[in-house]
Structure 1
Amino acid sequence: MNHYQKILSIQTTGKSLHKITHKVEAIVAQSGIETGLCTLFVRHTSASLVIQENADPDVLKDLANFFAKLVPEDPTLYIHKAEGSDDMPAHIRSALTHTSEQIPIARGKLVLGTWQGIYLWEHRQWSHHREVVVHISGK
Structure 2
Amino acid sequence: MWQQTLITLRAKPRGFHLVTDELLAGLPELKACRVGLLHLWLQHTSASLTVNENADPAVRRDFERFFNSLVPQGRAGFEHNDEGPDDLPAHFKASLLGCQLSLPVKAGRLAIGTWQGVYLGEHRDHGGARKVLATLHGEEA
Tell whether the structures are fold-level matches, with TM greater than 0.5. yes
> 1:61-117 CA deviation, whole Å, 9 max, x = no partner?
111100000000015242111111100000000010010001000111100101001
Question: Matches of 1:88 and 1:97 in 2, distance apart?
Answer: 14
Alignment of 1:57-76 (within 5 A): 57-76=57-76
Q: Are 1:43 and 2:43 an aligned pair?
A: yes
> 1:19-64 CA deviation, whole Å, 9 max, x = no partner?
2211333444424221100000100000000111011111111111
What are the ranges of 5 or more consecutive residues in structure 1 without an aligned counterpart? none
How much does 1:14 deviate? 2.4
Q: Which residue of 2 aligns with 1:14?
A: 13
Assess if the C-alpha contact under 8 Å between 1:28 and 1:109 holds in 2.
Answer: no
Question: Matches of 1:26 and 1:128 in 2, distance apart?
Answer: 19
Question: Matches of 2:127 and 2:89 in 1, distance apart?
Answer: 16
Instruction: Provide closer, same or farther for how the CA distance between residues 107 and 27 of structure 1 changes in structure 2, counting only shifts above 3 A.
Output: farther
Residue identity in the other structure for 1:114? T
Q: RMSD in angstroms over aligned alpha carbons?
A: 1.4
Assess if the C-alpha contact under 8 Å between 2:105 and 2:111 holds in 1.
Answer: yes
- Please give the secondary structure, in 2, of the residue aligned with 1:49: strand
Assess if the C-alpha contact under 8 Å between 1:12 and 1:18 holds in 2.
Answer: no
How much does 1:127 deviate? 4.1
Question: Matches of 1:112 and 1:105 in 2, distance apart?
Answer: 8
TM-score, scaled to structure 2: 0.91
Kindly tell me the number of residue pairs found equivalent between the two proteins.
138
What are the ranges of 5 or more consecutive residues in structure 2 without an aligned counterpart? none
